[in-house]
Amino acid sequence: MASKTRTSLRGLRTFCIAARHESFRTAGDELFITPSAVSHQIKSLEEELGKRLFDRNSRELKLTKTGREFYEEVSPLIEKLDAVAASYRSSAVSSSVRISVQPFFASEYFVPRLSEFTAEHPEIDIEVGTSDESAETYPADADISIRLFKSPPANTNSNLLFPLRLVPAGSPSFKRSLEVSKKEITSDFPLIVHETQPKAWKRWSKVAGVKLPGASKTTRLDSMIAVVRACERGIGAALVPVPIADLWFEQGSIVRLFDTELVADMSYYVIVRDDAEAGPGIALLSAWILESFAGDR
Q: Is residue 4 one of the residues assigned to a domain?
A: no
Within this chain, do residues 172 and 238 fall inside the same structural domain, yes or no? yes
Sites in the chain below the pLDDT cut of 50: 1-3, 91-93, 276
How many domains does one find in the chain? 3
Q: 10 Å Cβ neighbour count for 114?
A: 19
DSSP assignments along 23-87, one per residue: -HHHHHHHHTS-HHHHHHHHHHHHHHHTS--EE-SSSS-EE-HHHHHHHHHHHHHHHHHHHHHHH
Q: What is the DSSP letter of 277?
A: T
pLDDT at position 60 is 80
- 79 and 149, same domain (yes or no): no
Residues 174 and 223 in one domain: yes
Quick check: is 73 in a domain?
yes
Domain edge (last residue) among 42, 64, 84? 84
Q: What is the pLDDT of residues 202-216, one digit of tens each?
A: 999 999 999 999 888
Closest of 6, 274, 4 to residue 142, by C-alpha:
274
Taking the C-alpha atoms of residue 147 and residue 51, their distance in angstroms, rounded to an integer, is 45
Pairwise CA distance, residues 207 & 131, whole Å: 31
SS3 category, 54: strand
Cα 287–chain centre separation: 21
Q: What distance in Å separates the CA atoms of residue 243 and residue 108, rounded to the nearest whole number?
A: 10
Range of the domain at 70: 9-84
Q: 243: cis peptide before it, omega within 30°? A: yes
Length of the chain: 297
Beta-bridge mates of residue 185: 180
Question: Domain with 60 in it: what CATH number?
Answer: 1.10.10.10
Looking at the domain assignment, is residue 1 inside a domain?
no
**pLDDT score at 167:** 97
CB 77 within 8 A of CB 108: no
Here the CATH number for the domain that contains residue 120 is 3.40.190.10
In a domain, 89, yes or no: no
Residue 133: inside a domain: yes
Q: Could you say which of 53, 84, 115 is where a domain stops?
A: 84
Q: Angle at CA 74, nearest 5°, toward 13 and 127?
A: 30
Q: What is the dihedral of CA 46, 52, 55, 56, to 10 degrees?
A: 50
Give yes or no: residues 108 and 232 share one domain: no
